Amino acid sequence: MNHHESWNERNSDVAEPATILLVDDEHEIIKLMEIYFGNEGYRILTAHDGGEALEQLRKERVDLIVLDVMMPNMDGIEACMKIREEQKMPIIMLSAKSMDMDKIMGLSIGADDYVTKPFNPLELVARAKSQLRRYYQFNEGREKRKHELTIDELVINTDTHEVWVDEQPVHLTPREFAVLELLARHQGSVLSMEQIYQQVWKEEYMESSNTVMVHIRKIREKIEPDKKNPKFIQTVWGVGYKMIKPQ
């Protein structure tokens, strides 16, 4: 399953935006990329040659690199090969000529994608989003996956408190997230309203309280594709609620 369409959406109350390192010796191109990636909410780092890029990587956690080929001191090809000795994040190479692109593609330098200059900034951002999605989905090297609960197209990250349905980010309040996480951790089991209330609110349950019901309704409004026929959270009449267990 892919994750959400836009990794910048990780910039919620509890999560950090993805960090993108832009490497190019042309200041105008760096500025242009900064504007477009910045508008998407990403955290931006910049470098003007391969050596500076490696220096940034020693200091910062980076999720994706846009790396120009032709640069002074250390060019993009050498930088890419050095980065790949230690790091797995996606690398998109920028090249001024399609002939260079053919040469790069013939080398096993470890780049994930290639864009020819002059490029459309929106196209570059779209390529970056695609690479980030694949990176987070497939890269077992990140600790992220062990914090994920996946129920069909619903993905819950218990570490960052992010939720996605069919790749789209869903924004829950902390209480709503706690209720959803509790149900997800007990997939297939019915939890009574009293159990949910005591686990999430850490208080004695009042028989007349409809707090749990209200929270379930709000969660369903946000995560259920078909509001009239809830798929993920099912009501077990007279007992409570349960999260479906995928077939």
Q: Compute the distance between CA of residue 123 and CA of residue 8 in angstroms, rounded to an integer.
A: 16
**One domain, residues 72 and 55:** yes
Residue 167, CB-side half-sphere exposure with 13 Å CA sphere = 10
Question: Domain for residue 57, yes or no?
Answer: yes
Do 99 and 53 fall into the same domain? yes
Tell me what pLDDT residue 8 has. Answer: 41
pLDDT value of residue 109: 77
H/E stretch holding 89 reads none
Q: Is residue 1 part of a domain?
A: no
Q: Do 48 and 131 have their domain in common?
A: yes
Q: Give me the residues paired with residue 170 across strands.
A: 163
Residue that is last in its domain, among 81, 108, 139: 139
Among 93, 118, 139, identify where a domain stops.
Answer: 139
Could you tell me the pTM of the whole model? 0.52
Domain with residue 217: its CATH number is 1.10.10.10
Least confident of 97-106, 127-136, 152-161: 97-106
Domain assignment of residue 217, yes or no: yes
Q: Residues near 191 by Cβ (< 8 Å), separated by ≥ 6?
A: 182, 183, 240, 241, 242
Please indicate, yes or no, if residue 91 is contained in any of the structural domains: yes
Q: Is residue 71 part of a domain?
A: yes
Together in a domain, 104 and 16:
yes
Same domain, 11 and 115: yes
Mark whether 135 and 161 lie in a shared domain.
no
Q: Are 117 and 94 in contact (CB under 8 A)?
A: yes
What is the domain range of residue 217? 147-243
* pLDDT greater than 50 at residue 134: yes
**Assigned domain for 2 exists:** no
Pair (200, 238) in one structural domain: yes
Residue 180 burial (10 A CB sphere; 0-12, 13-18, 19+) = buried
241 pLDDT more than 80: yes
How far is the C-alpha of 59 from the C-alpha of 209, rounded, in Å? 51
Which of 109, 139, 169 is the last residue in one of the domains? 139
Q: Which residues pair with 169 in a beta bridge?
A: 164
Residue 98 identity (one-letter amino acid): S
127 in the same domain as 33: yes
Residue 73: give its domain's CATH number.
3.40.50.2300
pLDDT digits (tens, 9 = 90+) for 38-91: 998 899 999 999 999 999 999 988 999 999 988 888 888 889 989 988 888 899
76-84 vs 50-59: helix axis angle to the nearest 10?
30
DSSP bridge partners of 247: none
Task: With a cut of 50, say whether residue 20 has pLDDT above it.
Answer: yes
Q: Please name the residues in contact with 218: beta carbons below 8 A apart, sequence gap of 6 or more.
A: 173, 176
* 134 plus 162 within the same structural domain: no
Do 131 and 23 lie in one domain? The reply is yes
Looking at the fold, whether 29 and 132 belong to one and the same domain comes out as: yes
Domain count, the chain: 2
Q: Is residue 13 part of a domain?
A: yes
> 17 with 87, same domain?
yes
| 107 found inside a domain | yes
Mean pLDDT, range 11-16, rounded to an integer: 43
Name the nearest CA neighbour of 207 among 196, 227, 193: 193
Beta strands 113-116; 91-95: pairing state: parallel
